[in-house]
Structure 1
Amino acid sequence: MSAIALGSRSFGIARPSALPGFGITFGFTIAYLSLIVLIPLSVLVWRASGLGLSGIWHVATTPRVLAALKTSFYISFAAAAVNAVFGLITAWVLTRYRFPGRTALDALVDLPFALPTAVAGIALAALYAPNGWIGSWFALADIKVAYTPLGIFIALTFIGLPFVVRTVQPVLADLDREIEEASATLGASRMQTLLRVVLPALVPAVMTGFALAFGRAVGEYGSVIFIAGNMPFLSEIAPLLIIVQLEEFNYAGATAIATIMLAISFLSLLTINLIQAWSRRRFGHG
């Protein structure tokens, strides 16, 4: 083995692969990511830097901006958490059971992917409005869904569910059932097998689905504005506030809010990825 190859392996630059051309593919990856992701985001940060750190901080601490950021991130986190639970259950049902209509139900999971976000928003607003099919039942209990933060939560849950289901489903399908049978043979109950054998193996996949659902929810716009009500300090999301700033020709303010969202999203996703990496090492999967 050459000294170059030894050096590459020792520093973790490349690993042996059946496919040759690490240098070319690595260069293409860096160039592609730079053009599609890094350069646009760098321009965004550069435009916002014109305000200076004090100017960005001033924008970030404006009461309306703070309220919009809290609404976006808190509700996105809550929706992703709910999707992590029910997405796991949905993936379990679709993977482990055979029943009439299973194929149609499996296809239905992808519907939020196919629907234009505006169509989803209009449909949800019509359903959950006080005079809508579902909203009228909530109205009997004096619960208002549409045009409130609860409506935002429902919209973000709707668009985020497929990310969890499609991430967990293949991992669950590949999970060796002999391990579960061995656990039962050793005297473990069904609940013990689920909590100590099955769920630990699914934790990394669930965390990945959670991160994807959270990332999508934070930046969601089309399906939210129709059901949110868009009331400042109540149901106004940060992406909508960026649009408002642009309509007022406040480009510096819009880029500042976008940069703040970028920083918070990056730190949030980095934290989730670190937890996911820890879970892979802890449970020995991936």
Structure 2
Amino acid sequence: MALNQSAAAARGRNPLPGFGLSLGLGMAWLGVVVVLPLAALAVRATGMGAHAWLRAINDARVQAALKLSFSTAFCAAVVASLVGVLITWVIVRYRFPGRRLLDALVDLPFALPTAVAGIALTAIYAPTGWVGKLLAACNFKIAYATPGIVLALVFIGLPFAVRTLQPVLEALGREPEEAAASLGANRVTTFRRVIIPELLPAWLTGFSLAFARGLGEYGSVIFIAGNLPYKTEIAPLLITIRLEEYDYNGAVAIAALLLVASFLSLLLINLLPLLFQRGGGHD
């Protein structure tokens, strides 16, 4: 009896002391760095009033910038997620010279300043660049056009897609594929019925992260976008322009919309495990 009580007490006791202190310090730091600025933006946005909101959002230039930012972020997230599956598969399933270098290059957009990435992409894909010169001969334009924005957002969103898929694919191993093959399933069926269901939650997570990241991207886009109003002007740039024009309500309205969209994307990421668990339990 005493042994059982001591075992129960050992299970109930936290093996790492200082939980209350570490939790308090962590939440305080998170509140000062993250929550407080976002709360200030939310308070300012809610205090604008309906008339100021409608005036800021109904502007044709604002609507064009928001439409461009949302559409390019979505397209870039789709491309990054699809390419991320291929790159992750190569890194995890194959051993070849330069594999570690490829694995390290995936994280380069995390470490590289976004302005440097934008300048590099512009230098390559501008009409006078190495690749842009060849594409200009075919009357196809990347830099200073919408494809350039998508390309920059794919560049900064690809690591999210790869790094969310990689641990899942490593944990999956080859055993499910071998079991499916032993039961007579071909490669297409194995990939569709075995691999995709396991990777889908991580794939959706990578997509959501890439979309949220691309929605607020600024540094890598402004150099390659061209920044033409109503054509290639993104919403984050328009926020800066509104601030320079002392139109604080307009800047707050755009920033609040981007904040809500990004928050909903991140909220979806946290709800995905629950949704898939319910689906699995129902089956």
Query: Does the alignment reach a TM-score above 0.5?
Result: yes
- 1:219 matched to 2:216: yes
Structure 1 residue corresponding to 2:191, chosen from 173, 190, 194: 194
User: Could you report, residue by residue, the CA deviation over 1:69-118 in whole angstroms, capped at 9, with x for unpaired residues?
Assistant: 11111110110111111101100000100111111111111111121111
Aligned-partner Cα distance in 1 for 2:75–2:66: 14
- 1:179 matched to 2:176: yes
User: Could you report, residue by residue, the CA deviation over 1:207-242 in whole angstroms, capped at 9, with x for unpaired residues?
Assistant: 111111111111110100000000111110010001
Aligned residues: 270
Aligned-partner Cα distance in 2 for 1:29–1:195: 42
Aligned-partner Cα distance in 1 for 2:85–2:224: 26
Alpha-carbon RMSD across the aligned residues, in angstroms, is: 2.1
Aligned-partner Cα distance in 1 for 2:186–2:15: 43
Structure 1 residue corresponding to 2:86, chosen from 82, 89, 94: 89
Q: Which residue of 1 aligns with 2:157?
A: 160
Q: Which residue of 2 aligns with 1:47?
A: 44
Percent identity over the alignment is 56
Moved more, 223-232 or 26-35: 26-35
Aligned-partner Cα distance in 2 for 1:103–1:272: 29
Q: Trace 1:1-286 onto structure 2 (pairs within 5 A).
A: 19=16, 23-271=20-268, 273-275=270-272, 277-283=274-280
Report the Cα offset of residue 282 of structure 1: 3.1
| Equivalent pair of 1:59/1:253 in contact (CA under 8 Å) | yes
Aligned-partner Cα distance in 2 for 1:281–1:141: 51
Distance 1:98 1:43, change over 3 A: same
Aligned-partner Cα distance in 1 for 2:101–2:206: 22
| Equivalent pair of 1:201/1:283 in contact (CA under 8 Å) | no
What are the ranges of 5 or more consecutive residues in structure 1 without an aligned counterpart? 1-14
Aligned-partner Cα distance in 2 for 1:162–1:280: 26
| Equivalent pair of 1:200/1:283 in contact (CA under 8 Å) | no
Aligned-partner Cα distance in 2 for 1:138–1:283: 48
Aligned-partner Cα distance in 1 for 2:46–2:174: 54
User: Could you report, residue by residue, the CA deviation over 1:14-61 in whole angstroms, capped at 9, with x for unpaired residues?
Assistant: x99754665555444443332222211110122233421231122112
Secondary structure of the residue that 2:276 maps to in structure 1?
helix
